[in-house]
Structure 1
Amino acid sequence: MPSLTQQSLSPFALSIFRRLPGHIRGLCSREHSTNDLPRRFAELVKRFSDRPPCSSPPPVPEVGARPPWPHPFEYASLIEAFGRAGQAEEALRLLHEMKSFSCRPDVVCYTSVIDILASSGRAEEALAVFEEMLTYGIFPDAAAFTVLVKLYSCCLGQFDAAYEVVRWMVKCGCAPDVVTYSTLIAGLCWAGRVEEALGILDQMLEEECLPNAYTFTPIVQAYCSSGRIDKAKGLMNTMEIIGCPPNTVTYNVLVEALCKIGAFDEVEMLLKDATLKAWQPDTITYSIYMDNLCKLGLADKSFDLFEVMLERGLQPNAVTLNILLDCLCRASRAWEAKRLLERSADIKWIASVVNYNTVMSRLSDGGRWPAVLKLFVDMFKKGITANSWTFSIVVHSLSKAGMVSLAKLVFDSNGFVPNVMSYTTLIHYSYIAGKEHDVHHLFQKMAMENIAPNWITYSVMITCLCRDKRYLEAVGCFYRSFKDGYSPKLVAHLLYQLVRGGKLKEVACLLDWILRQGFTIDVCIFHSLIKAFCRTGYCRSSRIYEICRMLDKMLQIG
């Protein structure tokens, strides 16, 4: 690719060239190898530079007649909506649909799709769409070039390519604007190249390309992330001096940094002086502050801030309420968390299934099964669909309260897809309730539904079988567990049950079998055996020598 020289530029392009930051101007002025850039991008630059784009307009309908296809503006609005929802495939589909309707996409449509693909990490596809735009003769504007800068700087971290895009913009007579530079600065800051970002910022100020708050915020964030909070505050003061005051996003970055070092007094001063500084704390500001207070166990202070939020007309979002609910639950104040959930309609907050699950789980741990059931019913009244975790919590809560029959009704209800934990819970409490038939039925049902038991499930089954003196079946259950992986905890549990049943011969055979499989006898198994021998009285019996020989053999093998 030929190098860009000042003699090759038009007067207009030359004026833009002189406004570029020094190190970018150097990149533009010297010979560049395309080896360090993506191959396809280099080809795009060459093709576009050698041939000016055509500008054939799309077919024009007769006067007064509506075209048989939607206007590109309508498509652009839909594409942007899908982009906000993160649905890149739908945005691509709309772009292809436009071409099938003979409605040629304009630069706005292409730019939106490229932006969506870049944000989704689909760099190759984004570059392919940009190439298609050039092939159709559509001239990229500053927004399109800026999206390409974002692709290389923010998404890929290929800053040489990002600078090459800026050089290409200048060559095409399209001046980089504040959005372009802000995007480049953001990418540099995320990559830890703060000094380089400051160089671009200085050059912008010198050339009267005035930055805005979004230009400064990534630098403030980079300072805060590296612990240089004083630098961040100094930069924010500079913003005030040059007439570009920090916005709420910038202050939120500083608030989070101050909270992390425990400087809550400074945070209070920032919130107090917000009106004087002409910024308004938002829901995110308060959520950040409350989250850090909750982590220190200052739940009451967090709820005071919550009330201040509501007084100022700020609506809590899902993050805010999750913070408060988690704070109450960790402080063993699950009953207050329940009241907060029930109050959700009053504060115009749409509670989610995750919120309910969090509180119900804590109430279940505290044995408050009536409150769990009340919230469970409340969910259905509000039209919130329960998930597997919800049902598992209810099953566990009822089972723990001794209401195994009611738990089984919930377990068998429509819409509940049981998992290994819910099965294990019901098996465990059915065993405690003395319902051995239900235990075996549930275990067989797990196999029929191809749900692999875990070591806890097997341990419950082994305990149940050993209690019924069915030791051979218990050993067989252990052998079946090997298809799901070897568990020293399960070995220790089975050995303990066999010793308690007086089955020392089976103990010795099982140990030999384990060693033949290549597994080791670890401290967990030793501890379980010795504890079983002691608790069953073998250490004071005439069989103490037999036990010692068994332990000596295990130690020698170890």
Structure 2
Amino acid sequence: MHYPSRRLPRLFLRCLSSGPHRDHRFLLRFAALAKELSDRPRAPPPPTRPRSPHPYDYNRLMSAHAESGGDGGAGADRALHLLDEMRGLLGRRPDAACFTTVAAALSSASRPGAALAVLDAMAADGVKPDAAACTVLVGVYACRLQQFDSAYGVVHWMGANGVAPDVVTYSTLISGLCSAGQVAEALGVLDLMLEEGYQPNAHTYTPIMHAYCASGRMHEAKRLLNTMITSGCVPSTATYNVLVEALCKVRAFKEVDALLEESSAKGWAPDAITYSSYMDGLCKAGRIDKSFALVEKMLSNGLQPNEVTLNILLDGVCRSSTAWSAKHLLECSTELGWNVNVVNYNTVMRRLCDERRWLSVVKLFTDMTKKGIAQNSWTFNIVIHSLCKLGRLHKAFCLLESKEFVATVITYNTLIRHRSVTGKANEVFLLLHKMIGEGIAPNDITYSLVIDCLLLYEV
């Protein structure tokens, strides 16, 4: 694939030529790739209403909304709305599949309380839970709430009431245990599966692989992979992706290359996540040239770079060139035909902070606002930090009061830090009081900053 600079607008090229660095080949290649990605057709949104009030049609639409996702679990909210609508229809009550779909969507959106409420409503409506519904309940307790006694209780209830746990049920329990760092207990559940005659699959082993890699136990991770292969369980692409990401973190790029070379022979196909993880590791290691070469390899294998891939390359461009140049890339996004998003802006703003270009962050935030791109908490936290560094605390506080701004503990810690260094204890306590009043729990950093301020004030 070629990235011809002649297709780029003159304004952008002029910005590059006036920058502090003139080696911008990666910027040019990235700009062309961004335009190509933006030119691709977008997937149509799911329909708003089912064609008939039959539970099957409702469940299909619920699933479509759940898969579409959205900020703050909007897809789960739409699925829940359909469930409530269906429960209000005479003669068309939701079946177990409808309740299960909505509960799973809410659990995936990190709303375990709402998921439990849906399953409670299922019991209240007299709908008997099946294995799928019970598995979702196991997932809520094990993966979301880490209440393992309750998760085990559901499994025991299933066995006592003729609802046999299956491989998915046990794999879900193993996933929750691994995410809590209880790998030994997860291996015990794996042994129980084998004793009861269930054959583990890649979904069973992958959480264990992830737990090994997360704790740096690479030898056990590789041994687990060999165990899967020798036992006849073909590792999935997701399993290999976990290993690839871990190898990239320790910069074992030769081992990653070997895995990719052997992929066809071992029966797995690298996907966009595989290449994105590899690109991310290479960019962080300063090898952006090989990252762009992987784009060519992706395309030759019939894979298309996605927005995650694009943002990884943008971060690499910032590292290899300057965030100042990437800033101009964002400002010229309209002329480039690139559908820039909030993640792209946040990436460049963060790199501008690394270069201590606080004013450039504020200017980029203004450009973002003019283009009508919705900011998120990460955006505001970066801008708040930059305003504090510029000594514009009044503007930082005005931004805090903005209706569009949802503050986090990081926001308040930033403001408290800049107030505490001046010894203004009264303002620090006002911020702490406001923070608690908004339902934001202080963390260890918050209390440490407040204590430092008190010590400075006493001196």
Q: Do the aligned partners of residues 207 and 451 (structure 1) sit closer, same or farther apart at CA in structure 2, a change above 3 Å counting?
A: closer
Equivalences for residues 55-454 of structure 1 within 5 A: 70-84=53-67, 85=69, 86-87=73-74, 88-102=76-90, 103-332=92-321, 350-352=339-341, 354-355=343-344, 390=364, 392=366
Which residue identity does 2:83 align to in structure 1? L
Which whole-Å CA distance do the structure 2 matches of 1:203 and 1:251 have between them? 25
Q: 1:130-171, CA deviations, whole angstroms, 9 ceiling, x for partnerless residues?
A: 232223221111101111111111111111111111111111
**Alpha carbons of structure 1 residues 360 and 486: separation in structure 2 relative to 1, 3 Å:** closer
Distance 1:129 1:343, change over 3 A: same
Distance in 1, Cα, partners of 2:237 & 2:332: 29
Contact 2:341 2:373 in 1 (8 A): no
TM-aligned CA deviation for residue 227 of structure 1: 1.3
Q: Give 1:182 deviation, angstroms.
A: 0.5
> Quick check: 1:315–1:348 contact (8 Å CA) kept in 2?
no
Is the CA contact 1:357–1:393 (under 8 Å) kept in the aligned structure 2?
Answer: no
Q: Distance in 2 between matches of 1:416 and 1:172?
A: 52
In structure 2, relative to structure 1, the CA distance for the partners of 1:349 and 1:266 (3 Å cut) is: farther
In structure 2, C-alpha distance between the alignment counterparts of 1:266 and 1:416, rounded to whole Å: 40
- TM-score, normalised by the number of residues in structure 1: 0.53
Query: In the superposition, relative to structure 1, how do residues 235 and 344 fare at CA in structure 2: closer, same or farther (>3 Å)?
Result: farther
With over 3 angstroms needed to count, the CA separation of the structure-2 counterparts of 1:489 and 1:81, relative to structure 1, is same
How far does residue 222 in structure 1 lie from its aligned partner after superposition? 0.8
Superposed displacement of residue 356, structure 1: 6.2
Deviation at 1:362, TM superposition (A): 8.0
The alignment covers a number of residue pairs equal to 341
State the 1:451 CA deviation: 6.8
Cα distance, 1:340–1:143 mapped onto 2, change above 3 Å: same
Q: TM-score, normalised by structure 2?
A: 0.63
CA deviation vs aligned residue, 1:67-106 (integer Å, no higher than 9, x gap): 9961111111222223221333322221121122212111
Superposed CA RMSD? 4.4
Q: Distance in 2 between matches of 1:348 and 1:276?
A: 40
- Distance change (3 Å), C-alpha of 1:452 and 1:96: closer
Matched residues in 2 for 1:452 and 1:68: separation?
45
The Cα shift of 1:332 comes to 1.9
DSSP-derived class of the 1:186 partner: helix
Residue 336 of structure 1, CA deviation: 8.5
Relative to structure 1, the CA distance from residue 302 to residue 157 in structure 2 (aligned partners, 3 Å threshold; closer, same or farther) is same
For the residue of structure 1 that corresponds to 2:80, the secondary structure is helix
Gaps of 5+ in 1: 1-66, 367-371, 373-386, 395-410, 429-442, 454-483, 491-518, 523-556
Distance in 1, Cα, partners of 2:373 & 2:189: 57
Q: Which has the higher mean CA deviation after the structures are superposed, 164-173 or 124-133? A: 124-133
Amino acid at match of 2:366: S
CA contact (8 A) 1:252 1:285 kept: yes
Cα separation, 1, equivalents of 2:267 and 2:293: 24
Residues 129 and 359 (structure 1), Cα distance of their counterparts in 2 relative to 1, 3 Å cut: closer
8 Å Cα contact 1:318/1:351 also seen in 2: no
Q: CA deviation at 1:249?
A: 0.5
Return the structure number with greater relative CO, CA threshold 8 A, min gap 6.
2
* Contact 1:83–1:91 (CA under 8 A) maintained in structure 2: yes
**What amino acid sits opposite 1:267 in the alignment?**
V
Change (3 A) 1:155 1:348: farther
Summarize deviations over 1:163-201 as a string: whole Å, max 9, x none. 111111111111111110110110111111111111221
The CA deviation at 1:299 is 1.6
Please give the alpha-carbon distance, in whole angstroms, between the structure 2 residues aligned to 1:101 and 1:189.
42
Q: Does structure 2 conserve the Cα–Cα contact (< 8 Å) formed by 1:154 and 1:187?
A: yes
Listed as ranges, the gaps of 5+ residues in structure 2 are: 1-49, 375-379, 402-417, 425-452
Question: Do the aligned residues in 2 keep the contact of 1:391 with 1:416 (CA within 8 Å)?
Answer: no
Q: Match of 2:163, SS?
A: coil
1:132 and 1:83 map into 2 onto residues whose CA distance is 19
Deviates most, 255-264 or 198-207: 198-207
Pair 265,180 (structure 1): closer, same or farther in 2 beyond 3 Å: same
CA distance in 1, matches of 2:363, 2:177: 42
Once the 2 structures are TM-superposed, how far is the Cα of residue 337 of structure 1 from its aligned partner?
Answer: 5.9
Report the structure number with the largest CA radius of gyration: 1
CA distance in 2, matches of 1:111, 1:301: 44
